[in-house]
Amino acid sequence: MGNLAFDFATDAETALVAIIIPTLNEEDHIEATLDALARQSLGYCKEIIVVDGGSSDATCAIVRDYADRDDRVRLIHNANRLQSSGINLAVSQLDPDTRYFIRADAHSVYPEDFVEKLLNAAVSSGAQSVVTRLKAEGQTCFQRAVGMVSNSIIGTGGAIHRVGGDSRFVDHGHHALFDRHYFATIGGYDESFATNEDAEFDVRLCAAGGKIWFSNDSTITYLPRSTPKALACQYFAYGAGRARNLMKHRNGLRLRQLLPPLTVLVVSMCMALSLSSPWFLIVPLIYLLAVGFATILIYNKLKARCALAGIIAAPIMHFSWGAGFITGLTTYRRNLPLQSQL
């Protein structure tokens, strides 16, 4: 892809963009997110829609107050609560002239030229979707450890939208910008997905002949979960969503997606068998040694003490994802929302 610049003077009328932000209890982050995205999209963003899934904190009040100061901002309520439903609802209410929309997260940090770079990538690549890298950076030591693991092969298996790479066409990434009409044409997000709706959408987009462009210069920074329990719940849901995607499309797994459930099964079996013979403990020990070695490599590379907490974070991510995947396989029913099956 070349360095074709988006010309606001000539392209704004044909490439108007909307920003959609799904929220649920984001009072600590939503105003900063609105500030960042509203400031950099002046002149070519007609709408900034916050679609709220039933916040019990001050999120909605903050958004309504912001809307009084910026008439592009509006709040809509998502009775179904799921992000997939919220995005679909917001897209259905977009101005008819809007060509692109950006899906933004309330608890992320965006570079100052994020919107412009996404539009550049969409126009120059001709892709129907532009995805970005999602880089985790924490505030507490545990969060930083989760971030370091997430940004490495040990945490996410080398996925390009996690570890980075050259800009190119891909089959999946962290969702950022969409051709609004193409999104609607292929049915939007599947609202039976509580998680993994992005990967499921990408399967249908590619099957329909659409293209996904990974933009390496539009990195989003996000804050990882702050406790082991929250991290476990997050990755359990991720694994269950991936299982639902597999059962719907029968599209197979990559090695990095196959390893967590296999690890859960093999380690659990060996732990049980160790009651009859302690030799079976060798397999769990090998796993822990491998995680420990990888954690030390991360520490040596980044020179950050908190990286050593990766010895805790990585197994939580692996085993929670794997357990969620196995549970998702065994509880799958096609038309029932995932959260109702678990």
pLDDT single digits (tens) 48-77: 999 999 999 999 999 999 999 999 999 999
pLDDT at position 236 over 60: yes
Query: 6: which residues sit within 8 A by CB, 6+ positions away?
Result: 15, 116, 119, 120, 123
pLDDT band, very low/low/confident/very high, at 271 (cuts 50, 70, 90): very high
Q: What is the mean pLDDT of the segment spanning 112-130?
A: 92
Instruction: Calculate the average pLDDT of the chain.
Output: 89
Task: Quickly state the pLDDT bin for 30 (edges 50, 70, 90).
Answer: very high
> 93 phi and psi, to 5 degrees?
-110, 10
pLDDT reported for residue 65: 97
| Residue 341 pLDDT grade (very low, low, confident, very high; cuts 50, 70, 90) | very low
Mean pLDDT computed over 132-145: 90
Residue 195 has pLDDT above 50, yes or no: yes
Q: How far apart are CA 172 and CA 68, in angstroms?
A: 37
Contact 12, 41 (CB under 8 A): no
The ranges of the chain annotated as CATH 3.90.550.10 are 8-225
Contacts of 240 (CB under 8 A, 6+ apart): 195, 324, 325, 327, 328, 338, 342
Euclidean distance between CA atoms 17 and 281, whole angstroms: 56
Closest CA to 53 of 232, 173, 191: 191
pLDDT at 16: 81
Are 217 and 167 in contact, with CB atoms under 8 Å apart?
Answer: yes
- Highest mean pLDDT: which range of 42-51, 75-84, 303-312: 75-84
User: What distance in Å separates the CA atoms of residue 190 and residue 168, rounded to the nearest whole number?
Assistant: 26
What HEC string does the chain produce?
A: CCCCCCCHHHHCCCCCEEEEEEECCCCCCHHHHHHHHHHHCCCCEEEEEEEECCCCCCHHHHHHHHHHHCCCEEEEECCCCCHHHHHHHHHHCCCCCCCEEEECCCCEECCCCHHHHHHHHHHHHCCCEEEEEEEECCCCHHHHHHHHHHCCHHHHCCCHHHHCCCCEEECCCEEEEEEHHHHHHCCCCCCCCCCCHHHHHHHHHHHCCCCEEEEEEEEEEECCCCCHHHHHHHHHHHHHHHHHHHHHHCCCCCHHHHHHHHHHHHHHHHHHHCCCCHHHHHHHHHHHHHHHHHHHHHHHHHCCHHHHHHHHHHHHHHHHHHHHHHHHHHCCCCCCCHHHHC
| C-alpha to C-alpha distances, 240 to 5, 170, 196, 229, 339, nearest whole angstrom | 40, 23, 8, 17, 9
Is the separation of the CB atoms in 190 and 334 below 8 Å? no
- The lowest-confidence range among 13-17, 114-118, 193-197, 303-307 is 13-17
CATH number of 8-225: 3.90.550.10
**Sorting pLDDT into bands at 50, 70 and 90, what band is 337?**
low
Tally the C-alpha atoms within 13 A of residue 107's C-alpha that lie toward its C-beta.
16
Strand 212-222 with 129-136, pairing: parallel
pLDDT at 82: 94
